[in-house]
Amino acid sequence: MNTVIAKRRRAAAALVTAALLLPLTACGSDDDKKDEGGTKDGGTRQRADLTVLAAASLTDVFKTAGAAYEDAHPGTKITFSFEGSQELAAKVRQGAPADALVTADTKTMDGLRSDTGTPTVIAKNRLVIATGKGNPKKVEQLKDLADKDLKVVLAAPEVPVGRYSEQILERQKVDVKPVSQEPNVRAVLSKVELGEADAGLVYKTDVQAADGKAEGVDIPDGQNAIAAYPAATLKTSEHTAAAAAFVTWLTSAEAQKILRDAGFQKP
């Protein structure tokens, strides 16, 4: 009889112990989920799927930067939406779901102050004259773009690169009649690459990314314009901490090297 009673007591004690440990186990699981993995440098992992709205001229370099960021921050996935800055601004105003924004000018970003966190300039760029491979029309300077026999394509004036183009052409008193005005800088470059235009004004980095399909004619500093690229989180983001971490990372040594290698200038 004593043996039976002892067995029952041991069974009851085991049940009580299990009941007491269950909440602790659950708490431990939550902590594991929060801290699971971590970053390569030992930081806390930000688990989130981020959507970043970025200027079209960042298309190639941000694909590289995004892959590097995901590799260093397991659990974070970044999806980019590349368009002209004015189109990105329209999306923000319409409440499109996104977490961060990077434009090709400060003017567009400044117009979204009520929708963003404090912006940080992450890079700068400058304009060049894009021509077809081998520069068949022998374009050498801005004044050549006024040639009526030359098919010139520009970005629309509401696009940052289009606005910069207008500024430098007006300062040099160069009257250009473009055959078309495109919604973003990559569309301008595409027209030149396809031979639909003889020349166009784009960013230096766009010609570098063309991989030999187009050539760039440098514009002297005194005649040129400098484009600044500000980045900011969006107030509608559902991943505030992760979005802020990505924007901050864009100023890191690793990200800045990626930007420099792509031809962008220091902020």
In a domain, 36, yes or no: no
Tell me which residue range forms the domain holding 150. 126-226
| C-beta separation of 104 from 183 below 8 A | no
Q: Is residue 18 part of a domain?
A: no
Cβ–Cβ under 8 Å, residues 37 and 45? yes
Question: Does the pLDDT value for residue 245 go beyond 90?
Answer: yes
- Write the pLDDT tens digit of every residue in 165-202: 999 999 999 999 999 999 999 999 999 999 999 999 99
pTM, to two decimals: 0.81
The pLDDT, as a whole number, for residue 45 is 52
190 shares its domain with 217: yes
CATH number for 92: 3.40.190.10
DSSP H stretches of helix in 45-84: 59-72
Q: Identify whether 4 is part of a domain.
A: no
Other CB atoms within 10 A of residue 69 CB: 23
Same domain? For 120 and 131 the reply is: no
List, in order, residues 6 or more apart from 11 with CB less than 8 Å away: none
Number of domains into which the chain is organized: 2
SS3 139: coil
Query: What is residue 181's three-state secondary structure?
Result: strand
Please state the φ and ψ torsions of residue 199, each to the nearest 5 degrees.
-160, 160
Identify the pLDDT of residue 230: 98
Over residues 116-155, the pLDDT tens digits come to 999 999 999 999 999 999 999 999 999 999 999 999 999 9
Q: Is residue 2 in some structural domain?
A: no
Same domain? For 114 and 130 the reply is: no
* 31-72 per-position pLDDT tens digit: 333 333 334 444 445 578 999 999 999 999 999 999 999 999
Structure token digits, residue 49? 């799927």
Distance from C-alpha of 10 to C-alpha of 219, rounded to nearest angstrom? 87
